[in-house]
Each structure stands twice: as C-alpha cells, then as structure tokens.
Structure 1
C-alpha cells in the first residue's frame, strides 16, 4: 500500500508527464523521491544542489500548480537536497529548503500551464505543441561500419564498437575508449558507432563532439553564466561520443564538468564512446578520478594496419570513388605507405590526381615517381613493422622469432632493440608496440627501453649496433 506522500506525488507525476518531453521527464522527475507529507507540505528528495537549481529555474511553476491542484490552495513544496560527501562525514548530508515564490525563468512554455478550473478533467495541464529539443548528431555519413575495413589491427575495437552500437549502455563496454596513433581510424569508428545506433534506434539522442569543441562550449557557458544549461544539455544525451579526450589534459575546470557529466550519463545507463591517441595509463595531465572512469569499460587499441589490411583499405577506397587501378600499383602503394590509413588514402588520391592532370594512365612507374615525392613531402613516420624488419635483417634473424616467446639471448636483445626504436621513432603507444611484438605488455616494453639505454652507456660495441641501426632505419 502506498504512503500518502507517494500517492500524491504519483498523481502529480501523471500531470507533469503530459507537460514535459519524455526525455525531460526521465531526467528531471523520475529521480525525485517523495519523503513526507505534513500539513499540506510535500517534501521531495532531489539528488544534488544542481538538480534543485534546475527544477527551480525550469519547472517550479509547473510543480507548484500541480501541488496546489492535489493538496488545495494551502499546498506547498519542500526540497530535501542531497549534498556531496565532505571529508568529515561518511554519508551524504541532506538539507531541506522550501520551494521559492518565483516563477520558472528558463522554460516559459511550461511556466503558464492551462488552468481549466476543475479536478474532474484528467490531465488539465496539457500544453499543446510542446516539442522535444532536437539535437543534431554531428555524425559524418561517410564513416560507417560498411566501409570500415576490418583486420587484425582493429578487430577488437571494431567488434566492441559494433556490440555497443547494437546495445548502447547495455554492455560491459561503457565507456568504450578507442585509442591509437594518427590516421588509424579512431574517428571513423566513433562515427560508425553513432550512425549504427541512429539506424537501429532513431529515437536515441546521439552526439559526436571533439574535445576542443566541448571545451570551447564550456568556456562560452562560463562567460555567459549558462553553465547549468551546458551541463543539462550534455546530461540529456543518450550516446555521447567525444573525440581526442587527451586534449582535456591540463584543463582542470573542463575536466571537472566532464567528470560530473560522465557520472550522470553512466549512472543513468547512457553510453559513452571516447577516442584518444594513447591508453589511459599513458595519459598525462588528466585527473586520476577521470582516468579511473576511463578504465571502467573497455580500452581497445587500433594498431598500424598490416599489408593485407592496407590492400583491402585501398580496394575499399577505390570502390567508393569508382576507380580501378592495376593490381601491382595497389600492392606497391600498400607496401610503400605503411604508417597510417590517412596517409595511405592520401597517396591514392594524389596518384589519381596526377594521372588526371597529366593525362597519363596509372602505371607502376607513375606510382613510383609519385611515392618518391609524396614520402619526401610528408616526412612520414617509420612503422613498427619496418623497424622490426631492419633489426631482424641486421642480426640475421627471422621476424617470426622476434615475435615468439623464446628467451634466447640474441633474440631477446634484438627484440628489445626493436621495441626501443619503435618507442623512439614512432608515435605508437607502449601497448601497441607490445602487441606488435608477440603480445607483450607495456611494462615489458618499458623494461626493454631501459635495458637498451643502460647497455648503450656501458657497452661500446652495443652502442655501435644502435648507432648503425638508427642510420639504417632513418634512410628507409
């Protein structure tokens, strides 16, 4: 049997539900708990001071009129606000505050509900034409799962992304953090997740935003004294996708507001998808409380694509653009550009442009000429694969042995040298370097780098190896 306060509040919710959007109702009214009913005063519990302020600014008129309709002219409202825990108390403290006498200032369409003057008519506060706010997703339709080429380099991230897209907020991958170097497909995968969700569940509110844009919006809200609006907007999102979260580094206020938005979304079963250039354990300038939350779900890395995947990427791009190239040209491009997908596709477009402008057929010779110029102009980064090949050739070892678990001294040393150069000469994360070297973890990579540095200081012959190899790798 319901308590008196629960019965009154249940009837109030019936009226409120017809005066606000479904999303607003779920966000701002479902979390409220009726605590007591004394002398025509209904006390409701709200989860935070911000929550209380938002109700007062946006819904106080509707709340007061609804309460008076149920309790009569003497009916009034009181809040019990849960405050954040402080250092001296183990449990959250609640503070009671009476409702203000003001009208809602931020929601005029709801501040003057229709009054038909009788309780016999159901839901007398219905407001015709009330619309839910439409949020533009900012998703790029060109980035979908259909044209995301899967390979060993991205299989985990792609599979996790697809699972999230079909059950947002309902998997263990929340947040899903996809990390990797420049041009490896992080942004493509992030957009693909959002697009798939919109295709499967069009009623969901999906938003893609870069960390820079998020920061700019927050700064603007501080300047205009509209931080509450900013926070509320992001708390209304069902699937929030933030690109390049590493750029939050050093921005304490931005991190603080994102922390609270993150908590709200996660606690209410919403989905977060994040991208970064490195794993959480390697991020600098990000607060520990945020980093720990990044680890709540799954961190999946995107590695440099292997030769077969690079060929498949070029074939997909050719299909999308409606062009055909000789097989040997495609293979040459894939072999020559091994750093990232963006550069690989850029080389393909440059080759097509040169062919069109010079009115020449695309041949292997033309591809070689273009690649020579392209590589010089882009000052491209060497790949982990290339470093491993040079090191193995230098020590006359098969590359499979380098990636094996053997502890033979000469193999271990070559493996450590390859990991050292990968850290020095690429932008790959420690986790990615380890994954390319037989599935080693980041701690093993760090140990390898320290070992190489120590040997360079104590062993002249070893230092000679390193100097010689550095020259060979640099003149690829």
Structure 2
C-alpha cells in the first residue's frame, strides 16, 4: 500500500488520540487537514496562527513522537495556516511567509468613510443634555479573575482571557469569542478581562456593552441621522467587549455596521471580545463575512463544571462570604447541582439564608430539603416541542423536515432520537409522542426507542449524538 500524507497523518492521529484527553483531541486535532507528503516532510493545514502556536507550545512532543514513528528520525512537520480574506476567498500560506504578508491579507477589509471627523463625538452612553467626554467602561468590578475559578471546563477560555488582559490587541486571540450555555460564566469572564485591562492599562478605553443595547443605540443613531458619529465613537475604543453577540441574528443593519467597526478595530490593533450562547458554526442568521471574522482569533468554550470544580466554586463563595460549612454538606450540594455555576451559588445562598433566618444548624437534612426545592424550582420544563427544537437544531434541520415522511437515514435517526428523549423526559404516552412528532403511532415510537438503545451500545457516533443532546436538554 502506498504511503500518502493522509495515511501517515491518520496513523499519527491514532497514536495521539490514545495519549490525550478526548476534548483536547476534538478541539486541536480534528480540524487539521493533511495536505502533502514530500519525502519525510508532512505538510498539515491548520485554521489559524493561534492554532499553530498552541500546537507548538502544548503538543510539540507528542507530534514529534508520532511523526518519528511513521517517517523516521528525519521527519519534519510543515504548517500551512489557512486565513480568510474579506471576500471569503480562502488564501492558504505557510508560517515561513513574513508577517507583513499576513497583514496584507487582512488589510483588504473595506471601511466606511466618515463625513464627520469632529472630535466632539456623540457618546451613546451620555444622557442627552449632559456634556461628558469620558467614556465609562460599564464594567462590573465584582467580576474578576480571582473569583473565576479555573477547572477543566473553563481552562482554555480563562487562560486566553489572561493572555488578552496582559497584552490586549497583541495576541492571536483577536477576537476572543467565549461561548457556552446559560450560567457558566461568560459574562463574568468578559468583565474580568476588561477589569484586568483597566488595572494594567488605565490609559486604554475599555467598553462593555450587550449586543441588545448596541443594537438599540444603532437604531437610535439612524433615527437621529447621526450614524457616522455612532460608528466613529465605537472606532475610538481600544477594547470592545460585546456580550451575547448571537442577539445580532437577523439584524442585517446592525450586523453591517458592526462589521465595519470590527474591521477598523482589528486593523488598528484594538482588542475585540465577544460572548455567545453558541459556537460560530451554530449561529443562525449571521452574515458569513461576520462569522468568518469571529473565527479569526480563538473560540473558547465554557462547559459545565466537573465535581471538583463545583466544590472549589462553593468553597470560594463561602470563603468570600465569611461562612463556614461542613465538607459533607459542600460535597452534597456539588453532587446534586450540576447544571451551571449560577444555580450552584444560588443553592448555597438559599441554604445560608434558611439557616440564618430560621436559626437552624446547617445539616445534611436541611441541605437535602433546600437542594430538592431548588432543583425542582429551577429545572426547565422539557416539552415535546422543546425536544424537537433541540434535536432539529443539533442536526441543522427544521422541525418540518424532522417530522416529514422521508426515509433518509439521518432524518429518520433524528426523528427517532426526538421520540426517545420525549419518552425519557416527559410523562406523555407513546401515542401522544407519536402524534406530536410527525403523526406516527405508538408502535413507531416504541420501535424508535429500541433502535436508539441498540445503536447507542453499538455505534460510537450515534452514542455521541445521544450524549450531546442529553447535555443540551439537561442545561
């Protein structure tokens, strides 16, 4: 069998996969593409300069070992970094090309000419009638890196945040997009980065704003005919933090103006930090040219904290509040509230409050009562409609397709998964589930549940579908 770039790389991947964590493998090795094999030099294509730097810093040893096994002691690895220009045409180049060429690719961005270059800009954050040239950061000083505890679930995002805070606009993490579910700390981390930058660089203009407020300001600027002032105001910001950027979905005017603001800031070495409840690949109704820019830097996911991290969060919260609590009670709360940090801290606050107001000692029994009530009150009601939405979003199809009569394999599997989760998470009868998911009968639902059970134990990819959707429904 002839040796190809792909066969060599596949063998390397098999070795790497056995020696690193599954999440790390998925994040740092699955996106890599084998390009060519020249003698003992393997060329691989990576999505960004940051990607290349991360591999060199964290995985150079395992790459060397795996490649030497395949190609001998003279093995070499050549990186090809794939960038995207303004018009979406992909232009690959290798790391050996001077950095000036890299900036030339990005300098094709088109900026909006401003008619009004007056220094007296209208500040969207100033109350009408009150003159104020100072731009307040809108940051919450209570959100800091000190009280954002590190764990496996957030290590990449937190480390990238610290790097950005140390050198805003001077790292490959630009933009830095932090994404994850509700209550996992996206807003906290975004504020922490801003607060740290203000401490280190008091002269820099840092601004935090929600995408919703940004949109409203833009609408007001258009109504008052001062769109250029709005753009120019945002172009003088050194560090722009936009929270919940997915809110821009479907708002073409706001997306267009943000596109030009982003280009100006990026070209001038200013830092952009974004948060979102989903990864760029999962964002709906966001222009492709904007999504391509979101991918220029680093997209870092915040995941549900593991047990050890949940314990650390609770202990840190208690320490800050000056409260002591037995270890077994902390462990009990951490074991039973797994969804997110916000609910975890909410439960411990409720426990302290109940103990204080009712002058009761904090015991396991009291913790059990509080946690049960808390979980019951905070758990989202899962409906069949909601399950269908989660499943169809996961497979990137609409609900009508999910419910259709088609026998295409991937659609049938999505439909069977929806039925399986409807039986698992609701009290509806099989007949009711079938009726709501494409007007099927109870026998079809029963068959679907059996099929999902069988495939979960025999098909690795299908098992991953079940695990991913379970996580989404459990948030």
TM-score (normalizing by structure 1)? 0.58
1:180–1:428 CA contact under 8 A, matched in 2:
no
- Partner Cα separation in structure 2 for residue 426 and residue 335 of structure 1: 27
| Offset, 1:268 | 0.6
| Offset, 1:216 | 1.1
- Partner Cα separation in structure 2 for residue 280 and residue 184 of structure 1: 18
- Partner Cα separation in structure 1 for residue 328 and residue 111 of structure 2: 66
Match of 1:178 in 2: 178
- 2:450 aligns with one of 464, 467, 470: 464
Superposed, 1:210-359 pairs within 5 Å as: 210-359=210-359
**Kindly tell me: are residues 423 and 361 of structure 1, through their superposed partners in 2, closer, same or farther at Cα, counting changes over 3 Å?**
farther
2:178–2:274 CA contact under 8 A, matched in 1:
yes
**Kindly tell me: are residues 330 and 293 of structure 1, through their superposed partners in 2, closer, same or farther at Cα, counting changes over 3 Å?**
same
2:111–2:263 CA contact under 8 A, matched in 1:
no
Match of 1:93 in 2: none
| Offset, 1:381 | 8.0
- Partner Cα separation in structure 1 for residue 114 and residue 453 of structure 2: 65
Gaps of 5+ in 2: 1-108, 123-130, 396-409, 421-442, 457-465
- Partner Cα separation in structure 1 for residue 412 and residue 174 of structure 2: 33
- Partner Cα separation in structure 1 for residue 308 and residue 381 of structure 2: 20
Gaps of 5+ in 1: 1-46, 60-104, 108-130, 383-420, 431-445
| Offset, 1:450 | 4.5
> Higher mean Cα deviation, 339-348 or 320-329?
320-329
- Partner Cα separation in structure 2 for residue 465 and residue 314 of structure 1: 41
Superposed, 1:379-398 pairs within 5 Å as: 379-380=379-380
| Offset, 1:226 | 1.5
| Offset, 1:463 | 2.0
Match of 2:49 in 1: none
Match of 1:372 in 2: 372
2:111–2:260 CA contact under 8 A, matched in 1:
no
Match of 1:151 in 2: 151
Asked if 1:194 is matched to 2:191, the reply is no
Match of 2:65 in 1: none
**Kindly tell me: are residues 454 and 359 of structure 1, through their superposed partners in 2, closer, same or farther at Cα, counting changes over 3 Å?**
closer
> Higher mean Cα deviation, 275-284 or 369-378?
369-378
1:242–1:275 CA contact under 8 A, matched in 2:
yes
Greater than 3 Å deviation, 4+ residue runs: 47-52, 421-430, 446-462, 464-470
- 2:115 aligns with one of 44, 47, 53: 53
| Offset, 1:447 | 10
**Kindly tell me: are residues 463 and 245 of structure 1, through their superposed partners in 2, closer, same or farther at Cα, counting changes over 3 Å?**
same
2:151–2:305 CA contact under 8 A, matched in 1:
yes
- Partner Cα separation in structure 2 for residue 246 and residue 261 of structure 1: 17
| Offset, 1:338 | 0.1
TM-score (normalizing by structure 2)? 0.58
Task: For residue 194 of structure 1, give the secondary structure of its aligned residue in structure 2.
Answer: helix
Task: For residue 54 of structure 1, give the secondary structure of its aligned residue in structure 2.
Answer: coil
- Partner Cα separation in structure 1 for residue 316 and residue 121 of structure 2: 49
* Superimposed CA distance per residue, residues 380-434 of structure 1 (whole angstroms, 9 cap, x where no aligned partner): 589xxxxxxxxxxxxxxxxxxxxxxxxxxxxxxxxxxxxxx9998799989xxxx
| Offset, 1:377 | 1.1
Aligned residues: 304
1:160–1:173 CA contact under 8 A, matched in 2:
yes
- Partner Cα separation in structure 1 for residue 155 and residue 411 of structure 2: 28
1:180–1:276 CA contact under 8 A, matched in 2:
yes
- Partner Cα separation in structure 2 for residue 325 and residue 52 of structure 1: 59
- Partner Cα separation in structure 2 for residue 310 and residue 425 of structure 1: 26
1:169–1:270 CA contact under 8 A, matched in 2:
yes
| Offset, 1:50 | 5.1
- Partner Cα separation in structure 2 for residue 309 and residue 422 of structure 1: 29
Match of 2:21 in 1: none
